[in-house]
Amino acid sequence: MELELESILLPGIEDKRPMVIAGPCSAETEEQVMCTAKQLAEKGMKIFRAGIWKPRTKPGGFEGVGVDGLAWLKEVKKETGMYVSTEVATSKHVYECLKAGIDILWIGARTTANPFAMQEIADALKGVDIPVFVKNPVNPDLELWIGALERINNAGLKRLAAIHRGFSSYDKKLYRNLPQWHIPIELRRRIPNLPIICDPSHIGGKRELIAPLCQQAMDLGFNGLIIESHCNPDCAWSDASQQVTPDVLDYILNLLVIRKETQ
Ligand code: PEP
Ligand code: MN
């Protein structure tokens, strides 16, 4: 199967693996966003991530700063020149992001698992040319993942990528979400022209697993990485145990071995 796709590379981003998207799990305050973004830009990062609408498993948790965060992302773009990305889960989120000039949208794992939500997002994106990265659904259902990508592609969007963030399981051992690498590998076999980005932060759930997971993704020929990075990870309002400072992120990326035969 071939989706009708175009390159996800944005102007100024070299075509050399890995493409890295980095930033905090959540935008918390303007200071935290700007401090993290400036440190990441100093390390040469080109694409910033921060969630402003956070779908949480249980009520009562921090559910994101909402539209206020869009102004901070605009400020990141202006101050650092990085491209900015955030998660959308409803058509309202899409309209707000398009209005604010967000560069890349991603769909979270809980949203990919919901065909009505995916269709609503696809309808809101009709006729818009923006890169959209679709995370796998929380459950290991390749067809649901492909279906979500198809809905966005059918709306006319061609700059698509898949994000592999692992699959939830009842028994949590080493990983927060099981990598089940054969599933993204099968996705690549089914849709060979679709770039696949690895999210070691949500697979591992612990900062010490980020480096080995990044290396595994590179060895398997993934096209990019999305990694959570926070200027003060231990104080993060969400996913504290899996975030790393921009310094540590830079260290991890410098240690990666990119083998020629997987390029
Ligand atoms: C996130 O990227 O912070 C996030 C909520 O991820 P996921 O949808 O993979 O759980
Ligand atoms: Mn997160």
Find tokens 């963030």 and name the residue. Answer: 165
Q: What percent of the chain has pLDDT over 70?
A: 97
What pLDDT shows up at residue 14? 66
Q: Which residues line ligand 1 (CB under 6 A)?
A: 25, 51, 108-109, 135, 165, 202
Domain count, the chain: 1
pLDDT by residue (tens digit) across 131-149? 999 999 999 999 999 999 9
Paired with 83 in beta bridges are 47
Pocket residue to mutate for ligand 1, from 49, 202, 227, most atoms within 8 A of Cβ: 202
pLDDT the model gives residue 153: 98
What domain range is 203 assigned to? 19-258
- For residue 26, give the CATH number of its domain: 3.20.20.70
Residue 120: count other Cβ atoms within 10 Å of its Cβ.
18
Q: Is residue 180 part of a domain?
A: yes
**Residue 12 lies inside a defined structural domain of this protein:** no
**What confidence score (pLDDT) does residue 123 get?**
98
Domain membership flag for residue 254? yes
User: How does residue 17 score in pLDDT terms, banded at 50, 70 and 90?
Assistant: low
Residue 84 lies in a domain: yes
User: Can you tell me which atom of ligand 1 is nearest the CA of 166?
Assistant: 9
Give the model's pLDDT for residue 263: 47
Span from the CA of 212 to the centroid of ligand 1 (angstroms): 20
Is 4 inside any structural domain? Answer: no
Task: Using alpha carbons, list the distances in angstroms from residue 57 to 9, 62, 242, 261, 262.
Answer: 33, 11, 17, 40, 36
- Whether 18 has a pLDDT exceeding 80, the answer reads yes
Give the residue-averaged pLDDT of 257-262.
72
For residues 48-56, average pLDDT: 96
Q: Over the chain, what HEC string results?
A: CCCCCCCCCCCCCCCCCCEEEEECCECCCHHHHHHHHHHHHHCCCCEEECECCCCCCCCCCCCCCCCHHHHHHHHHHHHHCCEEEEEECCHHHHHHHHHHCCCEEEECHHHHCCHHHHHHHHHHCCCCCCCEEEECCCCCCHHHHHHHHHHHHHCCCCCEEEEECCECCCCCCCCCCECCCHHHHHHHHHCCCCCEEECHHHHHCCHHHHHHHHHHHHHCCCCEEEEEECCCHHHCCCCHHHCECHHHHHHHHHHCCCCHHHC
| Single pTM value for the model | 0.96
pLDDT in tens, 66-105: 999 999 999 999 999 999 999 999 999 999 999 999 999 9
Residue at 14 is within a domain: no
Centre of ligand 2 to C-alpha 194, Å, is: 23
Q: What is the pLDDT of residues 158-185, one digit of tens each?
A: 999 999 999 999 987 899 999 999 999 9
261 pLDDT tier (thresholds 50, 70, 90): low
Examine residue 18 and say whether the peptide bond preceding it is cis (omega within 30 degrees of 0): yes
In a domain, 102, yes or no: yes
Supply the residue whose CA is at minimum distance from atom 10 of ligand 1: 109
As for the ipTM of the complex, it is: 0.99
Answer whether residue 7 is part of any domain.
no
10 pLDDT tier (thresholds 50, 70, 90): confident
Mind listing the pLDDT tens digit for each residue in 199-230? 999 999 999 999 999 999 999 999 999 999 99
